[in-house]
Amino acid sequence: MKKPKIRELCEALRSFFSRPFTTTFPLTAHEPAKKFRGKPEYNEDTCVGCGACFQVCPSKAIDMVDEIKDGLGRRILIHHPKDCLFCGECERNCITGDGIKLSRIFDIAYFDEKDVQDRIEHELLLCKHCGQVIGAVKHLTWIRKKLGNLAFSQPVLISRFTGEIRLATGAEESFSGETDRTDILKTVCPGCRRLAFISDEGGER
Amino acid sequence: MKLADSLKEKLGERIREINIHNERRIYLTVDVKDLLECAGILFREMDGRYIVASGADNSGSFEILYHFGFDRQGSVVSLRVLLAGKDPEVPSLSAVIPGITYIEREMWELLGIRFTGHPGLRHFLLREDWPQGNYPLRKEGATEGEKSEE
Amino acid sequence: MKNKKRVIIPIGPYHPLLEEPEFFSLYCDGETVVDVEWEAGYNHRAIEKLSESKHWDQVTFLVERICGICSTSHPFAYCNAVEDILGITVPERAKYIRSIIGEMERIHSHLLWVGLAGHFLGYNTVFMWAWKYRETILDMFEMITGNRNHYAMFRIGGVRRDIEDGDIPSLRKVLGEMEGKLEMLTRAVLDDPVLAVRLKGVGVLTRRDIKDFGAVGPVARASGVDFDVRKDDPYAAYPLVKWKVITTGNGDVFDKAVVRLLETFESVSIIRQCLDAIEGKKGEIENQVREVPAGQGIGRHEAPRGECFHYVRSDGANSPVRHKIRAPSYVNIPTFKASCTGQTISDVAIILAGVDPCYCCTERVAVYDAGNKKKLYGFPELVEMSRKKTERIIKGEMK
């Protein structure tokens, strides 16, 4: 402009003498706001492995893998920052309230994605008859605790309860061929329990 | 006069069905043969504002909703036409509403509805060499996407 | 018949100067534009189709990412649409919070636009200053919502996060400072004689043009069409606070700039009134929604660029069965046919900027030779021509 007006001149002087708006990140550290939505992180103590975060994630950034090997089950939940929206739906829908929480970590550039993934593993309870997954052990324990006395209506939860207060030898439950009525009270998956309900003591449906 | 009554008066017998969802959302169903006339009445005579048109695949038949804004009443009036058949045809409204050509091109390429009398029905959003007959927004064309492996 | 060479100038689709890919073909006779054609689709992401495979609450995050600048407008309109199906309203505190977020977005979007317009005209200082002061708004967003863009504040039935009393004083302070800066920018635009020559009478849209294309937002209000969704189809806290719709009459780029700048003052006033209403009080921020019954709904929001329109249909299942999204730029950009015809090539860049296309929905411009289809100018050349014209005006060669 040929003749800058006084207020623009004042503004120019103000800009010249004030601190720049840019910071010197990464040379200086950056402190994000208190409520900043950064990378979600699992909490080893409070996550129960229910998989709610996996179900609600809008961008499918959380993978839930159930591995069964040699009769032992393992559930692995992996969070991928490359797909994450940092929306906080996982935190919001976590059934325990703080199994997964958004941290304030924002600097997650990587060469190898595995360096920034967050994983948590849980032991799975498997059906003693057919080997299918019933659920994560910690999840079932959490449900049992939450239900209190009502937990006694569900045989699997009973076995979780009795398994905790009595030294479990692990060899009590036996099965003979087809499912029969007595299998209702054993640690079985919903599929097997359904078959057990429609059978009689002799295994006849 | 309330908007719904005013519509009934102006369009009269042409309205096949009227769905007053609430005071500000009115859905009118008309026949395809009356479409041009009704759109002209809504756009010119009643001075409605063209908002957009939305086509939908009802798994076997199609429908198009032409949305008009009546801003003094803060309402949206949607003109609905039902189209039968796999390759339906509808007269283009570009002579009445010049700005509607783009959404008609989009509805043609995504749903396969042909607009007769359109000044230039060609691809708008999809690339020029998109396979013919492949209409992505149709229900039958839906395929579950696989999460890509890194 | 003289050998009239019709020139087509292509601008786009991919260029470092432009934010998103776009494509306009300008057909020129010498220096004058005679026709414009718009090609879109370089940024097509099939969001309407994706919507059909996402749960109702997940769609909010999907549509938030349609645009980065107006990232609240789409969730706002979508939530209004689903709440229209349900026939519910949100709690009062949620209404105020929604309006606060919407208006803060308007301020930052208009500041961004002022910067871009300055950039196209050659006033790079305006660009730097406008974007510098925009940073304070973005910092406020980070403080309240957790992110500078994509605020993840909206939810069907309410809002996801509350605004705490502790954050309100900083917000008020920023608004106070913002008013001073906006005052400076507005005065700079209105008083500058060069801008007056450069922008007045350029890219005029008549009321007839607005109606033919269905243009909305500041583009329409600059031509005297008094339409604002917030006033005509009230929602959220807009009917609960006092504010006015800014309309001017000339329809040129200058008026569009004036409308946008004056709107920001109204936004500051709305935010202040909303903060007064929620400070020191407690309230519900969500009406819990468990399921969406079969039906159809239409939701709208006055985005910074105009009316954002969502049509949602449900069949009672977990996902929408049809989701039609119409961003305001979809109807604003075709107005180039009317506003660029008869203008000189050097004005095209600023007319383009005047419409404030949210490029996420649109593309860039290309100018070809109509006769031999040779590409004559790319977009940087057009911006350069625009800047040169400004310089000529400054030097006093043009009146």
Pairing mode, strands C366-368 and C23-29? parallel
Q: What is the reported pLDDT for C358?
A: 67
Q: What is the reported pLDDT for A58?
A: 94
Q: What is the reported pLDDT for B147?
A: 34
Q: Do C139 and A33 touch (CB under 8 A)?
A: yes
Q: What confidence category does residue C313 fall into, taking pLDDT thresholds of 50, 70 and 90?
A: very high
Q: What is the reported pLDDT for A156?
A: 78
Same domain, A115 and A154: no
Closest to C358 in 3D by CA, of C27, C97, C105: C105
Query: What are chain C's domains?
Result: 6-43+335-394 (no CATH), 47-327 (1.10.645.10)
Cα separation, C317 vs C292, whole angstroms: 7
Same domain, A90 and A157: no
Same domain, A41 and A78: yes
For residue C41, the chain B residues in CB contact (below 8 A) are 123-127
Whether cis (ω within 30° of 0) applies to the bond prior to C16 is no
Q: Cα–Cα–Cα angle for C273, C277, C281, nearest 5°?
A: 155
What tokens does A118 get?
Answer: 């967050």
Q: Is residue A15 part of a domain?
A: no
Same domain, A108 and A154: no
Q: Is residue B54 part of a domain?
A: yes
From the list C54, C58, C184, which residue is nearest A7 (CB)?
C184
| C313 shares contact with chain B (CB less than 8 Å) | yes
Q: Is residue B68 part of a domain?
A: yes
Q: Do C53 and B99 touch (CB under 8 A)?
A: no
Same domain, A89 and A39: yes
Of C129 and C102, which is predicted with more confidence? C102
Q: What is the reported pLDDT for B142?
A: 43
Q: Is residue A23 part of a domain?
A: no
Q: Which residues of chain B have pLDDT under 50?
A: 141-150
Q: Is residue B130 part of a domain?
A: no
Same domain, A149 and A181: yes
Q: What is the reported pLDDT for C195?
A: 85
Q: Which domain holds residue B34?
A: 3-88
Judged against a pLDDT cut of 50, whether residue C364 lies above it is answered with no
| B146 shares contact with chain C (CB less than 8 Å) | no
Average confidence (pLDDT) over A61-66: 96
Q: Is residue B121 part of a domain?
A: no
From the list B49, B72, B124, which residue is nearest C41 (CB)?
B124
Lowest mean pLDDT, pick from A166-175, A194-203, C137-146, C332-341: A166-175
CA closest to B99 among chain C residues: C213
Q: Is residue B107 part of a domain?
A: no
Q: Which chains touch A (3 or more CB pairs under 8 A)?
A: C
Judged against a pLDDT cut of 70, whether residue C13 lies above it is answered with no
Instruction: Judge residue B5's burial from the number of C-beta atoms within 10 Å of its C-beta, 0-12 exposed, 13-18 middle, 19 or more buried.
Output: exposed
Pairing mode, strands C32-39 and B15-22? unpaired
pLDDT digits (tens, 9 = 90+) for A175-189: 777 777 777 777 788
Q: Is residue A66 part of a domain?
A: yes
Q: What is the reported pLDDT for C370?
A: 55
Q: Which chains touch B (3 or more CB pairs under 8 A)?
A: C
Amino acid (one-letter) located at C6: R
Same domain, A82 and A151: no
pLDDT digits (tens, 9 = 90+) for C236-247: 999 999 999 999
| C224 shares contact with chain B (CB less than 8 Å) | no
Same domain, A118 and A147: no
Strand partners, C307: C302
Q: What is the reported pLDDT for A162?
A: 65
Same domain, A119 and A45: yes
From the list A32, A58, A85, which residue is nearest C142 (CB)?
A32
Residue B38 CB partners (closer than 8 Å, separation 6+): B11, B14, B28, B30, B79
Last residue of a domain, one of A101, A126, A151: A126
Judged against a pLDDT cut of 60, whether residue C356 lies above it is answered with yes
pLDDT digits (tens, 9 = 90+) for A37-62: 999 999 999 999 999 999 999 999 99
Same domain, A122 and A135: no
Q: What confidence category does residue C152 fall into, taking pLDDT thresholds of 50, 70 and 90?
A: very high
Q: Is residue A29 part of a domain?
A: no
In percent, how much of chain C has pLDDT > 70? 88
CATH of the domain at B34: 3.30.460.80
Q: Is residue B148 part of a domain?
A: no
Q: Is residue B97 part of a domain?
A: no
* Predicted TM-score (pTM) of this structure: 0.90
Same domain, A72 and A149: no
Q: What is the reported pLDDT for C80?
A: 96
Domain count, chain B: 1
Q: What is the reported pLDDT for C70?
A: 84
Average confidence (pLDDT) over C151-173: 94
CATH of the domain at A113: 3.30.70.3270
Domain count, chain A: 2
Same domain, A121 and A135: no
Cα separation, A100 vs A79, whole angstroms: 10
Q: Is residue B20 part of a domain?
A: yes
Lowest mean pLDDT, pick from A124-133, C15-24, C53-62, C325-334: C15-24
Asked if ipTM goes beyond 0.85, one says: yes
Q: Is residue A8 part of a domain?
A: no
Judged against a pLDDT cut of 70, whether residue A23 lies above it is answered with yes
CA closest to C22 among chain B residues: B125
Q: Which domain holds residue A146?
A: 131-168+175-205
Cα separation, C122 vs C388, whole angstroms: 8
